[in-house]
Structure 1
Amino acid sequence: MHFALTRHESLSPTQQHQLLEIELLPEQIRHVGDIYGGLHTLTARPIADRQGFVLLMDDIPRGFFILKRRSLLPDWARECASVTTTLHALMIDRRFQGLGLGKQCLRALPALAQALWSDTEQLMLAVETGNHPARQLYLALGWQELPNRDPDQPGFERLMLLAL
């Protein structure tokens, strides 16, 4: 099997259609949304502050995520003094989970973010406290959980950071 990460806009028309066929389990949709919501995020302006990436397995889309910076950073990432890029909507097609595709995306992320935006000093993401598999994966790959914000808030999320 051949794996590659590519920018969303570089997909062929066939691959664009295949991307829409990514399936997630209901609990995953609750955490990251679906592919349609992820693609809708790519319409945000300014274009220079966000980029969608697709994980191809044998040239077929099997995963997707978005990177954001500057004006498109969520409020929770704006408080940092470092130049931050945030990860959003990481999704792997449910039929291909358990093959290490998410881990592959996360391992490639630091170099990918710095190649895209060379001033990136750190990566951040928000993950629901109850999403234990994702949290464990991030921790295993060197991400650090930041101190709690407001654990009594409904839908509480943990912030995670990876210094580059």
Structure 2
Amino acid sequence: MKPDSERRSIRYEGYDYSMAGYYALTICARNKTHLFGSLVSGETLQPTILGRIVADELTNITVRFPTVRVDTSVVMPNHLHLILVLTRNHAVVLGEVISDFKSGCYTKWRHQLLAIDQPAPPSCWQRNYYDRIIRNAAELEGYRKYILDNPSRW
């Protein structure tokens, strides 16, 4: 594995991720393992403990970051899709929000596992995340539809 200083960034070079706007994100579970639950009847997530934590932490993003809003989201067995809205320029950087979210989920999950004498893996998340900067209303509607339809395509 390359040291952090040699890893290629998957962010858009030169883009200011503290600019207000809509961002479509995909965040994957470690090794794409089904850590968040399983789909029943093809479309409804039966969440694990971690799946419930992830859903709760999504709602808490706006508490920790008042200038950030979750527009649309879905938690799948091994990943989640969401659209985050930064409502004010330079109030927070997108990566800071994602880092805080991932850290909060893992910390709560780890504490719950240790409380029931189960070992906690070193992480529940794949390194990094995938993002798309949403540039207009048509893209926004397309991403919303993609996210909401994701369980039926699973």
| Fold match (TM-score > 0.5) | no
| TM superposition score normalised by structure 2 | 0.33
For the pair shown, the structure with the greater C-alpha radius of gyration is: 2
Structure 1 length normalisation: TM-score?
0.32
Name the structure with the higher strand share: 1
